[in-house]
């Protein structure tokens, strides 16, 4: 007996694609997302390689489709608590977190946020000192669902028993400080895990100083993003000055079996080239330096894209891993080497962007453990067969898509999502589940 419903865990680009494919085939699908909006990391970027498309522009139509699709039940601000059963018949407990706003009553008018007296660094902005959010907030303008949540840690009512301005302002009486988190039980025939990635923490690389102007890729995306907290003005966090020289460092934590991870994170070569180009587009008289070991540009149009960075945007590529990054007054010094000319080099720049290793989302790793999925040494979900069954996990009926399986770019994540969806559709359509042991 196969329940003809599916569950997709994770609302990034992979989860969104998988949910849409399953829904378009006529099956009901639940999409559970831990944040209050779907969109994942892709919605945070400024422009994506190699097309330099605006990710908000290309994603939001899909996000709206998810929000409005008759076959998709979007459970945002929720997490999977437990799963029992087997392929064809899973019982899933989903914890609906308390947002303290009744989303059924909320119309998304935004009045509640206008007078909230609190500001706090925004998680969506990677806690940069730009674009703070309120205690009651929607993470970004194109959020789906476009409903706010209240952060208990900063809200004046929860911490001091005062204020309640948002409740007074709300025209539909949607603010409910008494709201409790609930658990919903759902039954599905198949599950796709698409819990995505995080970036390895900058502070875990001790030879690079902890400094406001040493940022990672996603922080720099937010600074570059025209719809971002600086409206696309490139300014450095410490003093908001425009950086005239920016150094980008590849392989930070990646390809480093001794101190980090032995694997290559696959996308950094491309996104660092992209970030350098976008920086140059915004600061035409600026200079970008990229410290690299190799250039891995294997996708369609990727090699040409990197060449463009060098020839059109005059990015200087220095072949050698950086040994130290530290502040010296107004400047940041990068000690590197250019092995091609045989020189040890020092670059004094205004900002440094680190290409941090891609690691699986820690919540995803925790979820994999709950689901009994095999993972590798780094927490990426292990495939049933590395070559021939890349979307099946060690548990029949549970599939994987996107960076939860390993570092990859957006096209591959989307392709995997559709692939995983097809596996789900086969299971649901056939009405039969084969419970073979994964090899």
Determine, following the binding rule CB under 8 A, whether residue 378 of this chain makes contact with another protein: no
Query: How far is CA 98 from each of CA 12, 69, 181, 224, rounded to the nearest angstrom?
Result: 21, 24, 5, 33
Determine, following the binding rule CB under 8 A, whether residue 322 of this chain makes contact with another protein: yes
Nearest approach in angstroms of CB 29 to another protein is 43
What one-character-per-residue DSSP string does 165-186 give? HHHHH-TT--B-TT---EEEEE
Determine, following the binding rule CB under 8 A, whether residue 162 of this chain makes contact with another protein: no
Q: Each residue of 53-62: b (16+ CB within 10 Å) or e?
A: ebbbeebbeb
Residue closer to another protein, measured from CB, 161 or 206: 206
Determine, following the binding rule CB under 8 A, whether residue 336 of this chain makes contact with another protein: yes
Residue closer to another protein, measured from CB, 97 or 319: 319
Residue closer to another protein, measured from CB, 10 or 320: 320
Determine the Cα–Cα distance for residues 257 and 164; give it in Å rounded to an integer.
Answer: 52
Alpha carbon 98 to chain centroid distance? 22
Determine, following the binding rule CB under 8 A, whether residue 369 of this chain makes contact with another protein: no
**φ/ψ (deg, to 5) at 332:** -110, 135
Nearest approach in angstroms of CB 243 to another protein is 20
Determine, following the binding rule CB under 8 A, whether residue 333 of this chain makes contact with another protein: yes
Residue closer to another protein, measured from CB, 240 or 324: 324
Determine, following the binding rule CB under 8 A, whether residue 260 of this chain makes contact with another protein: yes
Continuous segment of H or E residues that includes residue 92:
strand 89-96
Here's the x/- map for another protein, 209-248, by CB under 8 A: it reads as ----------------------------------------
First to last CA, the chain: 24
Please select the residue that binds another protein; options are 343, 369, 370, 385, rule is CB under 8 A: 343
Determine, following the binding rule CB under 8 A, whether residue 308 of this chain makes contact with another protein: no
Please select the residue that binds another protein; options are 321, 331, 363, 389, rule is CB under 8 A: 321
**Residue 275 half-sphere exposure toward CB, CA atoms < 13 A:** 30
Determine the Cα–Cα distance for residues 221 and 215; give it in Å rounded to an integer.
Answer: 10
Helices 13-24 and 410-430, interaxial angle, to 10°? 30
Determine, following the binding rule CB under 8 A, whether residue 255 of this chain makes contact with another protein: yes
Task: Classify burial at 386, counting beta carbons within 10 Å of its beta carbon; exposed 0-12, middle 13-18, buried 19 or more.
Answer: exposed
Q: With contacts defined by CB under 8 A, name the span among 41-49, 142-150, 342-350, 362-370 that binds another protein.
A: 342-350
Footprint of another protein on 282-301 (CB under 8 A): 293
Alpha carbon 217 to chain centroid distance? 11
Residue closer to another protein, measured from CB, 162 or 259: 259
Determine, following the binding rule CB under 8 A, whether residue 326 of this chain makes contact with another protein: yes
Rg of the chain, C-alpha, whole Å? 23
Residue closer to another protein, measured from CB, 293 or 415: 293
Determine, following the binding rule CB under 8 A, whether residue 337 of this chain makes contact with another protein: yes
Q: With contacts defined by CB under 8 A, name the span among 106-114, 131-139, 321-329, 357-365 that binds another protein.
A: 321-329
Determine, following the binding rule CB under 8 A, whether residue 256 of this chain makes contact with another protein: yes
Determine, following the binding rule CB under 8 A, whether residue 201 of this chain makes contact with another protein: no
* Residues making up the chain, counted from first to last: 439
**φ/ψ (deg, to 5) at 83:** -135, 135
Nearest approach in angstroms of CB 293 to another protein is 5
Determine, following the binding rule CB under 8 A, whether residue 259 of this chain makes contact with another protein: yes
List the one residue out of 192, 144, 153 whose CA is nearest residue 36.
144
Determine the Cα–Cα distance for residues 318 and 320; give it in Å rounded to an integer.
Answer: 6
Footprint on this chain of another protein (rule: CB under 8 A): 206-207, 251, 255-260, 293, 319-324, 326-329, 333, 335-339, 342-345
């Amino acid at each position: 007996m196969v329940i003809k419903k599916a569950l997709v865990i994770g609302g990034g680009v992979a989860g969104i694609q998988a949910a849409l494919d399953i829904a378009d085939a006529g099956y009901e699908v639940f999409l559970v997302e831990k944040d209050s909006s779907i969109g994942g990391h892709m919605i945070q970027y400024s422009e994506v390689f190699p097309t330099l498309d605006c990710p908000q522009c290309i994603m939001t139509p899909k996000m709206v489709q998810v929000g409005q699709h008759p076959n998709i039940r979007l459970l945002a601000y929720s997490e999977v608590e437990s799963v029992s059963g087997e392929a064809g018949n899973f019982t899933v407990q989903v914890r609906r977190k308390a947002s303290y706003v009744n989303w059924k009553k909320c119309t998304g008018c935004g009045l509640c946020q206008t007078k909230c007296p609190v500001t706090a660094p925004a998680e969506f902005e990677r806690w940069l000192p730009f674009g703070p959010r309120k205690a009651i907030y929607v993470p970004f303008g194109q959020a789906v669902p476009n409903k706010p949540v209240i952060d208990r840690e900063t809200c004046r009512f929860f911490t001091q028993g005062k204020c309640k301005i948002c409740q007074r302002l709300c025209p539909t009486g949607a603010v409910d400080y008494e709201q409790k988190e609930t658990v919903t039980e759902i039954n599905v025939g198949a599950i796709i895990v698409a819990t995505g990635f995080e970036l390895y923490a900058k502070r875990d690389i001790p030879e690079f100083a902890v400094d406001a102007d040493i940022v990672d890729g996603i922080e720099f995306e937010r600074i570059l993003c025209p719809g971002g907290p600086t409206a696309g003005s490139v300014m450095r966090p410490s003093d908001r000055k425009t950086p005239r020289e920016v150094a980008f460092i590849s392989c930070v934590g990646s390809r480093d079996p001794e101190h980090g991870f032995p694997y290559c994170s696959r996308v950094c070569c491309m996104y660092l080239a992209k970030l350098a180009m976008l920086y140059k587009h915004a600061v035409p008289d600026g200079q970008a330096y990229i410290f690299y070991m190799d250039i891995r540009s294997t996708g369609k149009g990727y090699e040409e894209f990197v060449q463009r960075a060098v020839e059109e945007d005059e990015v200087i590529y220095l072949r050698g891993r950086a040994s130290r990054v530290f502040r010296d007054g107004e400047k940041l010094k990068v000690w590197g080497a250019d092995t091609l000319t045989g020189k040890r080099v020092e670059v004094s720049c205004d900002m440094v962007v680190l290409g941090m290793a891609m690691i699986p989302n820690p919540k995803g790793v925790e979820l994999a453990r709950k689901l009994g999925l095999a993972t590798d040494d780094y927490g990426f979900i292990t495939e049933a067969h590395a070559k021939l069954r890349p979307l099946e996990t060690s548990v029949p009926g549970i599939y994987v898509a996107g960076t939860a399986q390993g570092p990859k770019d957006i096209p591959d994540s989307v392709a995997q999502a559709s692939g995983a969806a097809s596996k789900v559709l086969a299971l649901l359509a056939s009405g039969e589940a084969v419970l073979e042991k994964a090899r």
